[in-house]
Chains A and B, each alone.
Chain A
Amino acid sequence: MRDFLHEAGPAGASMRKMPSSLRRIAAACVLAMAFCLPLVAATVSKLNDDVLAPLRGPVVAKRILLNNVPLYAHGTANIDLEEFQVWAPGGKVIVNDGKSVQYLDPPPMRFFRGMVNGDPESFAYFSVDGTTGAIYGLVATRDGKFAVNASRRRLLLPRNRNPIPDRSDDFDYFLTVSDDTDELPMTGQTWACDVEKLPAIPQVNRRILAEVDASGHRVIAEGISGTQSYAIALEVETDTELYVNASSNATTLTNYVTNLTGAVSTIYNRDLHTNVVQQNLHIYTGGTDPWSAANANSGLLELGDYYHANHLALKRSAVVMLSGKNTSSGVAWQGVIGGGDFDAGSPHFGGSYAWCGSIGTGGLGSVPDPNATTNGAQYGMPTGFQSYWPLTEYAHELGHNLAGHHTHCVAITTGEAAGTNHPSQHFVDMCHTGEIDDDNNGHTSACATGADFSSAPTERGTIMSYCHNVFISTVPQSRFTFGQASEVSHHELDDYMLRAAGPLPFFGGPSNIVSAVGTFTMTTITAASSVPANSTGNAASVGSSNGGTPTYSWTITGGTITSASNIAAITYTAGPSGNVVLRATAYKNGTNGATFPNGGVGITDTKTVTIVTCTAPAITSQPSSTSIVTGQTATLTVMASGTATLSYQWYTGTSGNTSSPVGGATASSVNVSPASTTSYWVRVTNSCGTADSVTVTVTVTTNPPSVATLFYPVTPCRIIDTRNANGPQGGPALVSGGTRNVTVAGVCGIPAGVVAISINVAVVTPSAGGYLTLFTGPAGASLPLASTINFETNRTLANNAIVKAGSDSINVFDGGPTLHFVIDVNGYFK
């Protein structure tokens, strides 16, 4: 049998339905209508037709913008819309009058959907009657819900008394604003937590969702903003009771149901990238219909049995019953969209069916309803929950077909909460005070019950919750949303989305009965915690045990899976920045080839991988050509920027030619001692690129003939003191990083042509530590890697040295702060 959840269903099948508490609400409201009415705080204002007029015009770039719609008492809003289709190609209104069946084309209507600018939780739906030009609209925002209703035609009769042709500006429009309290009629209902708690999130089978026309050809619909989305094609059933609720007017009923589906599609498109289209609308006008069931559960089985017996080959994603029976509840099979029928406890059949009761009870609600009245006053909102109940119920039960279970009172694991903005939340909606333990303080351990809603945060419920039964003050905890991005509830619905692209056929076989299999376990995801930006071939894997080989399904954000996504170990390419979020789910196969979750539950794990932004190396300081004599060592140095770790390899030859690497030369600075003049270059590498230096040449000159010298002492004599006035033997002070060329010939008795001098060099109270390098002249000679004296801050210090004196001079390089130095000579070599 199917693994469905509970609440007493017939014959071993369990179903989802609206709770018993809601039935109590409905009953109470019928008996106490006078009490309910004051809670409806609707205001009606006149809306200038100019605001809506663009809806009758052409659509430019797929968009229509309604400017300055006075949604709020304190201001206006802009509504961004796109045109879309509610009817599937070839769809029909099938009218059964008890004697014959007519197949009628859908009414000529145009449909628009979109959002209020700046309100990500909003949706807006409009339709334009192609015959009359009348416009109906429904706009829901965080602050309230707004219905746009056309009034009666303002017939302009010319003097000849013949009505002029239809003119679109012949309408007055009334913007009806209601606060949230009219969503449900009563406050203070006991929160009945009598529904399921699920051990894990994913609950649905993998299905391809696609729109098909009447011939069975698939149509991929375009989602809002032109992104490709999925579509589900519905057979919409009604019953005699709903026809009566629609004043026994087939046109009224057709328009009403079409607008209802349009509003549902708008919500599904926004939240699930899924278009909901009507394939066929079935209307019964002759006082008889196939439906005799008196409650939701029986109705659902009856619906499945009827379609299994009569429409087995009719291709559809789901069948939705909109019943006018006042059951105050609905029920639907879970996670079955697009699937075939299955055994729901012989002789009944289940499948992709949803049953919605109490539609239009007491008159069609405003979805929108141009004929709505309040207390007999035209243009007002209708009474009680009929305003929004049908939309809530339709979206909710169809949601069971698609996305699975409720979002209220559902415990989730830490892994499932990861990636949401409530990472340690343990329940999805948490719309009850007793469940509020958001992100700290030890989690609540059970689903809360009772009437204590005093401190629950507002706006927690989703379409898939019962949070509309929970009131904060007079505000119900419900929203027309499947949950916003990064909310736990939205995260959960990702499961539906990821499976929407699965490999199973859209339409199941006639008796695709599947069964659950045993349990198994899945390991957590193994993957590197960080990867370089744009890196390829990154690995991630999971494993399983205790039950054979499951089927895997991976999804990724922030990157691209480059291997198959239905295997245990995948590879992926990281994106340019941010995080990669890997999500793996494991399922086991049921009978008939259909995948089926592990005992009704797939196992999911999520891992977030940090993308390390990588900057390719860039050379900031090129090596320099230099000259050495045979046997000497030249130091080549490169400096480069880029993401660590930078590695270096020096080569001989011309830059770019890697045929001759220098062994061991793998640092930014290398010492080379070539026997002859040689060209060098270096390649700097990190994980995301390389940079090649320029080619430099180390010119090798033959070691000059050794000159044997003798030592000639001189009386110690100061040849330079930079503290003195500027001059050849005086200042200025030697600047940090500077080099001073000091002529030695002709000073202190040193003759021209000396080879070296023996000196004592002193630094005078340097302001910082450092070193000096004394080396051979002439001025401009290259600085060797050497030092002559090292000193500390403020330490006057001296050292002895013998310094080669090329061209009768020596050079003094300052590897410290700007300072004064003194050199005394005590002899020379010649």
Chain B
Amino acid sequence: MKKLTEASRIVFLVAVFSLVLTAVAPKASAQYSYYALNPCRVVDTRNANGVNGGPIMTSATQRSFAIRGVCGVPTSAKAVSFNLAVTSMTTGGFVTLWPSGQSQPTVSSINFTGTETALANGGIVGLSTNAQDLSVFDGSNSSIHIIIDVTGYFQ
């Protein structure tokens, strides 16, 4: 088990907010305060190819994005509150967000059908200390675009 700094605070928040918690936080190592941000788009795979841009996510693959250092999220942030939107899907499926460098947890951050144009869900997720600190998995049979807006961070 890898050491995680995300902590019971997050677990607590998940419990309180009924948010979908995708961070794997089996161990409470610290407690963190919340710093609100005006919503800010940090990932959009519809944009030109780049670390936080395209290409489109392909079915059953994962990639990692760099959240800290963008949109006012400091490098010291341990978790972020986000809004995750999915579009361009042609089949139903799910997306999982978790701190990069960890095994993919058996959780989902959003579930969708193939008939929707776009669907969003809010949540909180922990961040690793890797440069690309957030992993995303496309759990559908479809290529999908994902958009992540951050609304605040914990540290």
Contact = CB atoms under 8 A, between A and B. Distances in A.
A631 interface: yes
Contact of A629 (B69, B72, B121): B72
B16 interface: yes
A800 B149 contact: no
Interface string A34-47: 00000000000000
Contact of B72 (A667, A703, A709, A755): A703
B33 to A, nearest CB: 4
Nearest to B110: A799
B117 A713 contact: no
A556 to B, nearest CB: 43
A790 B34 contact: no
Nearest to B12: A711
Interface stretch (B56-64, B80-88, B93-101): B80-88
Nearest to A803: B151
Contacts of B18: 800
B87 A790 contact: yes
B70 interface: yes
A786 interface: yes
A655 B70 CA distance: 28
B147 A713 contact: no
A804 B151 contact: yes
A800 B123 contact: yes
Contacts of B115: 792
Contacts of A626: none
Nearest to B147: A787
Interface in A90-105: none
Contacts of B39: 773-775, 784, 786-788, 803-804
B112 to A, nearest CB: 10
A164 interface: no
Contacts of A756: 34, 36, 151-152
A789 B120 contact: yes
A631 B17 contact: no
A776 B119 contact: no
A708 interface: yes
Interface in A307-357: none
A792 B116 CA distance: 7
Given A632-B72, A804-B151, A826 B17 contact: yes
B37 A790 contact: no
Interface string A625-643: 0000111110000000000
A827 interface: yes
A829 B34 contact: yes
B33 A708 contact: yes
Interface string A474-506: 000000000000000000000000000000000
A758 B123 CA distance: 11
A31 interface: no
A784 B40 contact: yes
Contacts of B114: none
Interface in A678-731: 703, 706-711, 713
Given A711-B13, A769-B117, A786 B34 contact: no
Interface string A780-796: 01001111111010000
A786 B40 contact: yes
A819 interface: no
A696 to B, nearest CB: 20
Interface string B31-47: 00111111111000000
A802 interface: yes
B19 interface: yes
Interface of B: 13, 16-19, 33-41, 48, 69-72, 74, 81, 83, 85, 87, 115-123, 147, 149, 151-152
The 5 residue pairs across chains A and B that have the minimum distance between CB atoms: A786-B39, A756-B36, A708-B33, A790-B118, A786-B149
Given A631-B69, A776-B38, 16 more contacts: A632-B38, A632-B72, A706-B35, A756-B34, A756-B151, A769-B118, A771-B118, A775-B38, A775-B39, A786-B149, A787-B83, A790-B117, A790-B120, A804-B37, A804-B38, A826-B16
30 contacts: A631-B69, A632-B40, A633-B41, A708-B34, A709-B33, A755-B34, A756-B151, A756-B152, A771-B120, A775-B38, A784-B40, A785-B41, A786-B38, A786-B40, A786-B151, A788-B39, A788-B122, A789-B83, A790-B87, A792-B116, A799-B121, A800-B121, A800-B122, A802-B81, A803-B39, A804-B39, A804-B151, A805-B36, A827-B17, A829-B34
